[in-house]
Structure 1
Amino acid sequence: MNTNKLIPLLSEMAIFVNVVDSGSFSNSAKKLGVSPSSVSRSITRLEDALQEKLLVRTTRQMRLSSTGQEVYNLCSDMMNSAKLAVSAAQADKTDISGVLRVAAPKALSRQVLMPMILDFIEAYPNVALQLKVADHYIDPIGDEVDVIIHITDKPTEGLIAKTLTQCRLVLCASPEYLETHGIPIHPEDISAHNCVCLGENPRDRVWDFTNNLKKVSINVSGSFAVNHSEIRREAVLRGVGISVFPEFAIQEYVDSGEVVEILTDWHVGGNYQGKVIAQYAQSKFIPGQIKTFVSYLEDRFHHGK
């Protein structure tokens, strides 16, 4: 069938989908605001053009023929594509709007993301952004979240993943502490120091170190433990002991000399390191506020804009 003959049938195909979805000619007519006879004529014109019986009708029920089922599936896809086309056209508008639900770890949100998020909502005032801070795994479907931001080397399968930056763990102490207690030159030296741990579980008191093929696990102890990076950082700044931080939580203080990074030849194992990744659901059409937000974060992380 050539295009000139096909174009007039597009509206009949749309009505056909509406009839099937509505369950009857009368229900479809009410939705479309036309008479049942008008709907019936559209279906007849479509069947005549395709030379196939699409609907089997009796006085009590209506069902799809085998050919009708196949035609319905294809026509339904056509309608969905039409909806996506409309959404895509609206999303290209400079006025980005809509609800945006974002989830991210607590420390990363507080110490890194918040300035970016506040700048974003100032730049896009018609976006209603809801931030959910949580360190546990967030299910984007079950928890009704549009974008999840997490620190991992294993992105969630089935979701689009955009790498924003990298994050490593930093082992450090204050200059005053190191002057009093000495500078560790090997991971085994750590066991003799006062270590400020997370304290969430027994494994938090085992620190793993690697240096090429060398691997060392050290049981540490200390007078203070807290599962809050900013409080641990304050303890380290006060000279309480040695602790491990995500780079974003401590780099400013390393740069200023208020803390000193130690055992720089060794890689410290643990959570909260790896790639900082933004993930969202795969779809033929990604809502404009999601694309704009993730692109905004990429620019800020990569170029500081």
Structure 2
Amino acid sequence: MKALARPFRIDAGRLSSFQPSHALRARHGIVLLALFLASLVTAHAQGIDPAGPPSALATLVEWMPFILRGFLLNLGMSLLAMAIATILGVGLGMLQLSRTRFISAPAWLVTHLFRNSPWLVILFVVMLLVPYELELPGGGSFIMSDWLKATFAFSLPVMANLSEITRGAIVSIPSGQWESAESLAFTRGQTLRWIILPQCVKRAIPPWMNWYALLAMATPMASILGVREAVGNAQAAMEAAGARPELLAPFYLFLLLLFFVYIYPISIWTRMIERKYAVET
């Protein structure tokens, strides 16, 4: 069987070893919790004047549901962006391996363009260029709210990295499996669908989870452009409470705790799956 386009072999067991979520440890959460509690004690001590405004602790408790609603938007944006990135990234990765140069070259270009572009720049470009209202072919229209545009923007760099992970996982499958499938009269599409891709899933799950963790941690950047997620809501709450300096530490440490509690289990689960699906080389 002819070789795949631009073949090279990689260690699939190392596909996700570069991700920073591996550095997370439980002690980091304990330190973060201790800092959060210390900030509450300090801020409470600064606001015990009965004639003054409520303490930082009371202010945080009052605005906590508002911040949590924003955090739910972070989670929704991350899940939707990851779904879009997965669909587009897997397709783009397979297009990179096409034997037709007119297909593989544009797929390679798109992959490396978004893979090597700053996320914040992509966010600004999408937010400014995508119109607020899209005209549909049937005569209707679709409103592209800011959070939807931000979600699509976040999906683009993740799509590019998932494209490269998909391509790497496919080319890491031993060539003998392609040759065996060809000897059994499988077409290239059948070989890819029934033999190669099922094996790639195990190899790609750990880096896929790592990229989701990175995506979830990147969603607060949307607050720069006015999306009212957790960080945006926290900033609005502090402004409504008088923009007092003693509010900064407890509010932002509370945000750090929210994301840590959500991301850290994903990090643990990723390491467990990596050990379970480790590829022998």
Superposition TM-score, scaled by structure 1 size: 0.24
Higher strand share: 1
Higher helix share: 2
Structure number with greater Rg is 1
Superposition TM-score, scaled by structure 2 size: 0.25
